[in-house]
Structures are given as structure tokens and as C-alpha cells.
Amino acid sequence: MITRIDPGARMSEAVIHGDTIYLAGQVGEPGDDVVAQTRTVLAEIDALLARAGSDKSKILMATIWLADIDDFEAMNSVWDAWVDPANPPARATCEGRLATPDYKVEIIVVAARG
């Protein structure tokens, strides 16, 4: 069975298949700095995981895209305060051009339910 959370014409915010949750890439408010955008993104991830019956302690993999890899430490300062230290996920961080120049960070996660 597949469940879609907030499906739209182009994508769903999350898709649940069995006990695995796939979140769409989450971005912050355009124009905010990378710290504020990362805080917004992580709050959105928390909310979507809760709606899907999970939480950050069950994140299996995170992929983080930064518009500028020089923002790595600033993003990590927020990530490190948020991530469950007893259950850190596998993670990759890359630099890439995001949907608009106003986005500084996009985070995609896959998590388990239950």
C-alpha cells in the first residue's frame, strides 16, 4: 500500500510505502540566510514525519544540498543541535544549484515508521 501526504500535480510532500517514508526535498523561506532556512527545513521535516507516524530518531538517510558549500559549517551548527545524537542517520552533503538563487539549503530524508 502507498500513502501520499499532500499530493500535488507535480509531487507529494511525503510518500509512505510499507514502513518507509520518503520526504520531498524541503526548503526554507527565500531570502533567509542558511541558518534560518535550515531551521525552517528541519521544522518542516519534524512536522511531516509526525504526520507520517515517525520522528527524527527514525531517519535512515539524509541528503543535504547547499547552494554554496561555504555554508557547510553554518548549516551543521543547526543540524547538530537538531539531530538525535543516539540515532544519527546516514548522510550526504553536496553543493548544487537549487530551484531558485534564494534557496540556500534543501534537505531530503528517508525514514522508518513505527
Residue 7 confidence (pLDDT):
96
How do the domains of the chain map onto residue ranges? 2-112
Q: From first to last of its 114 residues, what are the pLDDT tens digits of the chain?
A: 999 999 999 999 999 999 999 999 999 999 999 999 999 999 999 999 999 999 999 999 999 999 999 999 999 999 999 999 999 999 999 999 999 999 999 999 999 997
Query: 27-33: long-range contacts (C-beta < 8 A, 24 or more apart)?
Result: 27/98, 27/99, 27/103, 27/105, 27/106, 28/103, 28/104, 28/105, 30/100, 30/102, 30/103, 31/102, 32/104, 33/74, 33/104
pLDDT for position 4: 97
The fold for domain 2-112 equals 60s Ribosomal Protein L30; Chain: A; (3.30.1330)
| pTM metric for this prediction | 0.96
